[in-house]
């Protein structure tokens, strides 16, 4: 290294620089900037800034020589490797560990351990189940073996994991409530509006038992499933979850989970969960505050007079236009008004059943029906349908014959087959063709979208809140695809619940990792980077990174306050980093 400087109009700035060779060319690299002459004199109390900076460069060169001498690694081509000695370790988990301890999960494990009689380290087991679920998702047995890839080795055996699963399941409610409380210490939870949705997970077994029941699979698999209901805040971070039998109606799962949660919130759901009973339950304004709802409302299921009002040509307002000018859909310009959203609103009444200690009773609720219309959304729906019609025509050409009821987005729904019957039975198929009436009926609803709410808020704020529902679908996708939460290979009911608790916590840890990186990177960038952050250990000397330093690895180090992107990380330094992530 040598002293370098740049001279400006008013001051000279000093820095330590060195020459490096990149792609066959010599380039000057700044190692450290000392600042301007004025800054050096005022900060360090010296009169000769240049001499001070030169002395700093000399000290840095001496330290570098000492480090080079200290970490001189001698390798011999004729020396065999030590039998069964592990030399490669993953350090990407350290970023997850930092969040795990920041969420206070070690304290939760400590509290649980005080109530049970076992000798294994519950915190060590739970943390390793979470790190491996994110980085190396697999079975519990494989997770045990994968956890040995980490720099810090596990203190438990495989049988301890299975015993711990029962304890984790027993403490499910406690873990969820404490985890939510602890998470508020990291950042304020954005729970003005919370989102609820359901999904299910399949088992590769033949017979149904316990909660593993045959039901309508989201993936159309003819296998037993269990359902999961999940609440999420406005930042995309999960709040709580529940597991229920796969044959249960998902509309009945929201209220029991809500009753365990905070009472002041607004719940946002899709149409599949918007039963009248759920709306009545969330139409509450008590002493401890408001509980409200925003839910998707299918226009096709409304009463005829409301359906006619929703689809009528006139009476539309432009979102954000304070003039209250009314518009007609037939007079809109496809190019000029393409990105605009028009809306109309009215209050409607609905009857729902509410459950009380004294029995069930009917109750009338008033709610605001908001209908929006967008040319851009209309064009999107028509483009999707055109592709489906094209596939349906190809099926007809290939001789497909339509039988039975078809799903909403199935191209086969456009195909109609005429049959010749004899004595009430199908005797002959006469022809298959595209039913134009089905297409025309669907086109009537293109561009329209409706929600119902009991809130007397601005249209923009309600529509904005409803648009974020996609993030809960992303939560399910991460769990199923990236964390490989299914198929589930456990049998006991409590162990299955514990499996989903670890998936739930893993999702929270990952979401906070995204936040620390300012949402600048996708999961397809983050997970491979963490998985590849391996180190080669030289016993008694240190850890040598064998990963590629990238913009993302630098962002991780900046966000978490430690750095492993050195040519070698001394043993003591790595020990300090591990300790730092547990504070």
Domain boundary residue, one of 40, 70, 100:
70
Cα-Cα-Cα-Cα torsion 242, 248, 253, 256, nearest 10 degrees, comes to -80
498 lies in some domain: no
- Whether residue 84 is contained in a domain is answered as no
The residues, any chain, with a CB within 8 Å of residue 524's CB and separated by 6 or more, are none
Same domain, residue pair 408 and 430: yes
Check pLDDT > 90 for residue 132.
yes
Does pTM surpass 0.95? no
Answer whether residue 153 is part of any domain: no
Residue 427 has pLDDT above 70, yes or no: no
Q: Which domain holds residue 386?
A: 377-443
Residues 278 and 414 occupy one common structural domain: no
What pLDDT, on the 0 to 100 scale, is given for residue 307? 93
**Quick one: 407 and 290 in the same domain?**
no
Residues 6 or more apart whose CB falls under 8 angstroms from that of 421 comprise 427
* Chain segment 481-517, per-residue pLDDT in tens: 999 988 888 888 999 999 999 999 999 999 999 999 9
- Asked whether residue 482 falls in the same domain as residue 360, the answer is yes
Pair 334, 400 in one domain: no
Is the pLDDT reported for residue 31 higher than 90?
A: no
Return the H-helix or E-strand segment holding 225.
strand 225-232
Residue 173 lies in a domain: no
In a domain, 217, yes or no: yes
**Do residue 251 and residue 351 come from a single domain?**
yes
State whether 356 and 397 are in the same domain. Answer: no
* Residue 302 to residue 507: CA distance in whole angstroms: 37
| 313 and 245 fall within a common domain | yes
**pLDDT, tens only, 358-398:** 667 777 778 889 898 999 889 989 998 999 999 999 988 88
286 and 419 share one domain: no
Confidence band, pLDDT 50/70/90 cuts, at residue 143? very high
Rounded Cα–Cα distance for residues 191 and 229 (Å): 17
Shared-domain flag, residues 369 and 389: no
**Which of 70, 87, 115 delimits the end of a domain?**
70
88 within some domain: no
DSSP 213: B
Q: What's the confidence (pLDDT) of residue 353?
A: 65
* Whether residue 279 sits in one domain with residue 335: yes
Residues 349 and 369 in one domain: yes
The count of domains in the chain is 3
Q: What is the mean pLDDT of residues 297-314?
A: 92
**Domain boundary residue among 39, 70, 101?**
70
State the CATH number of the domain containing residue 482.
3.90.350.10
Instruction: Check pLDDT > 80 for residue 179.
Output: yes
In this prediction, residue 363 carries a pLDDT of: 74
């Amino acid at each position: 290294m040598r002293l370098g400087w740049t001279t400006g109009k008013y001051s000279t700035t000093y820095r330590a620089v060195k020459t490096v060779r990149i792609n066959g060319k010599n380039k000057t690299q700044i190692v450290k900037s000392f600042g301007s002459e004025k800054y050096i004199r005022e900060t360090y109390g010296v009169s000769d800034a240049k001499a001070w900076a030169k002395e700093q460069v000399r000290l840095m060169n001496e330290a570098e020589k000492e480090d080079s001498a200290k970490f001189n690694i001698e390798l011999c081509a004729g020396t065999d490797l030590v039998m069964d000695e592990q030399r490669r370790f993953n350090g990407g988990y350290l970023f997850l560990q930092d969040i795990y301890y920041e969420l206070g999960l070690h304290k939760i494990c400590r509290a649980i351990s005080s109530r049970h009689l076992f000798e294994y380290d519950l915190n060590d087991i739970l943390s390793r189940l979470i790190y491996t679920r994110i980085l190396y998702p697999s079975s519990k047995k494989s997770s045990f073996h994968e956890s040995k890839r980490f720099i810090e080795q596990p203190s438990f055996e495989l049988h301890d994991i299975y015993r711990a699963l029962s304890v984790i399941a027993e403490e499910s409610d406690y873990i969820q409530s404490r985890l939510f409380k602890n998470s508020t210490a990291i950042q304020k939870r954005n729970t003005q509006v919370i989102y609820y949705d359901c999904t299910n997970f399949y088992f590769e077994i033949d017979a149904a038992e316990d909660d593993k029941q045959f039901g309508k699979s989201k993936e159309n698999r003819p296998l037993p499933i269990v359902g999961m209901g999940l609440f999420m805040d406005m930042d995309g971070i999960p709040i709580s979850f529940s597991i229920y039998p796969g044959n249960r109606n998902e509309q009945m799962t929201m209220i029991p989970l809500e009753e365990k949660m905070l009472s002041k919130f607004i719940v946002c759901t899709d149409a599949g969960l918007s039963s009248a009973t759920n709306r009545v339950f969330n139409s509450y304004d008590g002493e401890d505050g408001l509980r409200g709802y925003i839910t998707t409302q299918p226009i096709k299921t409304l009463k005829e007079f409301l359906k006619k009002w929703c689809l009528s040509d006139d009476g539309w307002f432009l979102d954000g236009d304070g003039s209250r000018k009314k518009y007609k859909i037939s007079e809109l310009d496809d190019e000029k008004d393409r990105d605009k959203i028009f809306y109309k609103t009215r209050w409607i009444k609905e009857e729902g059943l509410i459950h009380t200690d004294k029995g069930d009773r009917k109750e009338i609720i008033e709610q605001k029906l908001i209908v929006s219309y967008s040319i851009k959304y209309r064009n999107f729906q028509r483009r999707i349908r055109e592709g489906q019609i094209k596939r349906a025509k190809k099926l007809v050409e290939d001789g497909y014959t339509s039988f039975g009821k078809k799903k909403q987005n199935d191209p086969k729904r456009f195909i109609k087959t005429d049959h010749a019957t004899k004595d009430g039975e199908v005797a002959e198929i006469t022809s298959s063709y595209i039913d134009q009436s089905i297409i025309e009926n669907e086109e009537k609803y293109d561009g329209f979208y409706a929600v119902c709410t009991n809130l007397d808020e601005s249209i923009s704020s309600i529509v904005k809140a409803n648009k974020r529902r996609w993030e809960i679908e992303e939560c399910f996708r991460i769990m199923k695809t990236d964390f490989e939460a299914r198929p589930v290979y456990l049998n006991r009911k409590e162990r299955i619940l514990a499996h989903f608790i670890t998936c739930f916590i893993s999702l929270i840890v990952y979401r906070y990792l995204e936040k620390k990186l300012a949402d600048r990177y996708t999961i397809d960038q983050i997970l491979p980077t963490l998985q590849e952050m391996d180190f080669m250990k030289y016993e008694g000397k240190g850890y040598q990174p064998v990963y590629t330093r990238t913009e993302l690895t630098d962002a991780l180090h900046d966000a978490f306050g430690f750095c492993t992107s050195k040519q070698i990380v001394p043993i003591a330094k790595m020990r300090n980093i591990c300790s730092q992530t547990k504070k």
